[in-house]
Amino acid sequence: MPIQGKRVLLIVGGGIAAYKALELTRLLRKAGVLVRPILTRAGAEFVTPLSLGALAEDKVYRDLFSLTDEAEMGHIELSRSADLIVVAPATADLMAKAALGLADDLASTTLLATDTAILMAPAMNVRMWLHPATQANQQTLKARGVTIVGPDEGAMACGEFGPGRLAEPEAIFEAVSAALTGSGARPLAGKHVLVTAGPTVEPIDPVRVMTNRSSGKQGYAVAAALEQLGARVTLVSGPTALGVPTGVQRVDVETADEMLAACRAALPADAAVCVAAVADWRPAAPGDLKIKKSGAAQPLELTENPDILATLSQHGPQRPGLVVGFAAETNDVEEHARAKRLRKGCDWIVANDVTQAGVMGGDSNSVLFLTAEGAEAWPMASKAEIGRHLAERMAIALT
Ligand code: C5P
């Protein structure tokens, strides 16, 4: 176990999800990690010091002004005694204090008094998480190198639905392991990457639309992988059934025109990856009223949509330094991909043969990676893996 013997200072904040910190503690101890817990006053309303201490097999620190605690291990020493500080659950209040540098209890003082790496797993009501104050705090903390894990999206204890659930203990454990072994390098920190994903939906009339079968899975995987490497990611997405990847800012759109406008609004960006399956055509004049059956079939007049990839690739001060396009092909993949790279003006093309089983809507993909230097065939892998591979290549190009 490469993380055996590593030391984690675990700050447990106040929130209904605090019980998951107990499971996290158990997983860490099982892997041989030494866990020293700090339980905030609010945290102690949700889990008892006895449970936390028993699972951690260590003393639970609680009070900044405790004579015994300070005599045993002062708060400054406490903050230096770890390889990693983990805050789970990280409440809106703890994040705000850490972002501002406030220090009015043991947890916040420890966070301010340390230069040890910090990992936070936020958990709060969806409105608190989406509030511009919390989002700004999150960005500030990230920019300072804090790793943010989650929150997940789903049903919440407060009866609402959305992002704000504490990431599962297993996911936090994985992130802690990565941070402790140094495999959590973030070479894209400070870079902004724009990703398009999913289908577009073009109205015919108020009830009918033209769309395609894009699942958005590959684009979301690219966005998640870029975020994992530290990038600030804006994901401009058509309607999909997928949750927002952790740490990614999603902008929801429907039509190609809206997608282009959202992409323009997201600039400047260091790189753009166009994975969306943008409809090439849209109904020229969508009706305000539902088109009625008239006995005879009516022709539907179409007009061409803007090409977002080609537009972003145009030279100018706003052009991202690296523009990547995707291409779904059914035959002569390399030849078509080469022509597409030149026609669109993008730097790289990731081309796939959509006739292969499991690619369209599935979880795996095999691609041809094409740059000005040449082509590489990447073997069949999960879309997550293709996303990671591409993000790593982008990190090399951008740094
Ligand atoms: O021309 P084609 O649709 O095959 O090109 C695919 C690539 O171009 C993808 O990267 C896709 O996201 C992008 N594209 C676009 N806007 C369009 C059509 C395609 O950004 N209107």
Within this chain, do residues 359 and 327 fall inside the same structural domain, yes or no?
yes
- Asked whether 348 lines ligand 1 (CB < 6 A), one says no
Domain count within the chain: 2
- Asked whether 346 lines ligand 1 (CB < 6 A), one says no
pLDDT of residue 57: 92
Q: Write the CA distances from 392 to 188, 266, 319, integer angstroms.
A: 9, 22, 21
Q: pLDDT tens digits for 307-332?
A: 999 999 999 999 999 999 999 988 99
Tell me if 383 sits within 8 A of 365, measured CB to CB.
yes
- Asked whether 194 lines ligand 1 (CB < 6 A), one says no
Within this chain, do residues 241 and 390 fall inside the same structural domain, yes or no?
yes
Instruction: Residue count of the chain, please give it.
Output: 399
CA of 384 to the centre of ligand 1 (A): 21
Nearest CA to 84 out of 20, 172, 150 is that of 172
Q: Which long-range contacts (CB under 8 A, 24 or more apart) does 61-68 make?
A: 61/36, 61/37, 61/106, 62/38, 62/106, 63/106, 64/105, 64/106, 64/109
Within this chain, do residues 158 and 237 fall inside the same structural domain, yes or no?
no
Task: For ligand 1, atom 17, name the residue with the nearest CA.
Answer: 307
**CATH of residue 307:** 3.40.50.10300
Nearest CA to 219 out of 36, 387, 372 is that of 387
Given 130, 148, 181, which residue is the final one in a domain? 181
pLDDT of residue 184: 64
Nearest CA to 390 out of 279, 256, 252, 231 is that of 231
CA of 340 to the centre of ligand 1 (A): 9
Within this chain, do residues 205 and 169 fall inside the same structural domain, yes or no?
no
CA of 144 to the centre of ligand 1 (A): 36
Spatial separation of the C-alpha atoms in residues 137 and 142, rounded to whole Å: 9
What is the span of the domain harbouring residue 266? 192-286+300-398
Within this chain, do residues 281 and 363 fall inside the same structural domain, yes or no?
yes
Cβ partners under 8 Å of residue 27, min gap 6: 169, 170, 173
Helix (H) or strand (E) holding 396: helix 383-398
- Asked whether 195 lines ligand 1 (CB < 6 A), one says no
Among 278, 347, 349, name the best residue to mutate to test ligand 1's pocket (greatest count of ligand atoms within 8 A of Cβ): 278
- Asked whether 307 lines ligand 1 (CB < 6 A), one says yes
- Asked whether 352 lines ligand 1 (CB < 6 A), one says no
- Asked whether 276 lines ligand 1 (CB < 6 A), one says yes
**In this structure, is residue 250 part of a structural domain?**
yes
CA of 279 to the centre of ligand 1 (A): 8
pLDDT of residue 236: 98
Within this chain, do residues 65 and 174 fall inside the same structural domain, yes or no?
yes
- Asked whether 274 lines ligand 1 (CB < 6 A), one says yes
Within this chain, do residues 105 and 221 fall inside the same structural domain, yes or no?
no
3-state secondary structure of 90: strand
Helix (H) or strand (E) holding 304: strand 302-304
pLDDT of residue 143: 82
CA of 276 to the centre of ligand 1 (A): 7
pLDDT of residue 71: 67
Given 152, 181, 210, which residue is the final one in a domain? 181
CA of 331 to the centre of ligand 1 (A): 17
Q: Is 158 a catalytic residue?
A: yes
Within this chain, do residues 158 and 134 fall inside the same structural domain, yes or no?
yes
Sequential pLDDT tens for the chain (399 residues): 589 999 999 999 999 999 999 999 999 999 999 999 999 999 999 999 999 999 999 999 998 777 677 766 677 778 788 999 999 999 999 999 999 999 999 999 999 998 899 999 999 999 999 999 999 999 899 888 899 999 988 887 778 888 899 999 999 998 999 899 876 678 898 899 999 999 999 999 999 999 999 999 999 999 999 998 889 999 999 999 999 888 899 999 999 999 999 999 999 999 999 999 999 999 999 989 999 888 888 889 999 999 999 999 999 999 999 999 999 988 999 999 999 999 999 999 999 888 876 667 678 888 999 999 999 999 888 898 899 999 999 999 998
Within this chain, do residues 165 and 251 fall inside the same structural domain, yes or no?
no
Within this chain, do residues 206 and 345 fall inside the same structural domain, yes or no?
yes
Within this chain, do residues 69 and 162 fall inside the same structural domain, yes or no?
yes
Of ligand 1's listed atoms, the one at least distance from the Cα of 311 is: 20
Of ligand 1's listed atoms, the one at least distance from the Cα of 196 is: 12
Spatial separation of the C-alpha atoms in residues 10 and 25, rounded to whole Å: 8
**158, 263, 274, 346: which is the annotated catalytic residue?**
158
Q: pLDDT tens digits for 244-272?
A: 888 899 999 999 999 999 999 999 999 99
Task: For ligand 1, atom 21, name the residue with the nearest CA.
Answer: 307
